[in-house]
Amino acid sequence: MVKTVLITGAGSGFGRGVALGLARAGHDVIAACHIWPQVTELRAAARAEGLALRVIKLDVLSEIDRNHALDLDFDVLFNNAGIMESGPVVELPPEIVRRVFDTNVFAALEMAQGAAKKFIRKGAGRIVWTSSVAGLVKVPWDGAYSATKYAVEGFCAAMREELAPYGVQVCTVNPGAFRTGFNDTGMEAQDQWWDQGERVMDHWPVRELTRQADPAEMIAAMIEVITADHPPYRTVLPKAAEEMARREQAEEWDKHL
């Protein structure tokens, strides 16, 4: 069955890949991009392929933009927009922490709440939330991002049970390290503020992320979760990341200081 899917963060990375992939498969896609230049670029890319892709502007921090998107009719919300900024927890500027939480948690929650209310009235719908392996395990030097994804895991688990009686499904996709540029820029962002003030910790050496996977695998899995009749609640990729998460979660129970 053809589904209408609203995708946040569709201007780059996984969101863009999923939007184009769903459109190629014949689904009705509302691809929501953070800024107007992304809207223009994605519309041009869709036209070049002859795809009927609806592209809108959606800064998830904007109430105006959120209301505009949520007024549209759709069957699935792919709650994907997010940001990452690295740095040791002790040194992270509160401004950075608030910004990451505002985008990854509070704005995403408002999108999920708005979609859920629509779906409850219809008696059907699905919310697919981009979490992360970072929401399942420890991630030194990415504590703010990881904390937001732990919050996402908490909200999703609660919503899954709360919305099930109304015919509304909630599930997560949990990417590990993939070559979308997201992890690289998240690490580089630390350099914007590191020299502003006195530091008591050492700067984490900037290093090349050489072990990132091909994002095509994750994009295909996201499309399957969005469109399948009975997707798993949690999808963790690549496989090595799932194995690591299961191992580290078990080890936490027996860890001593």
pLDDT tens-place string over residues 223-244:
999 999 999 999 999 999 999 9
Active-site residue, selected from the candidate residues 145, 150, 166, 233: 145
CATH tag for 4-252 (out of 3.90.1150.10, 3.40.640.10, 3.40.50.720, 1.20.1440.230): 3.40.50.720
The pLDDT tens digits for 76-102 are: 999 999 999 999 999 999 999 999 999
The pLDDT tens digits for 144-185 are: 999 999 999 999 999 999 999 999 999 999 999 989 989 999
145 is catalytic: yes
Cβ(19)–Cβ(58) below 8 Å: no
The overall pTM is greater than 0.75 = yes
Mean pLDDT of the chain: 96
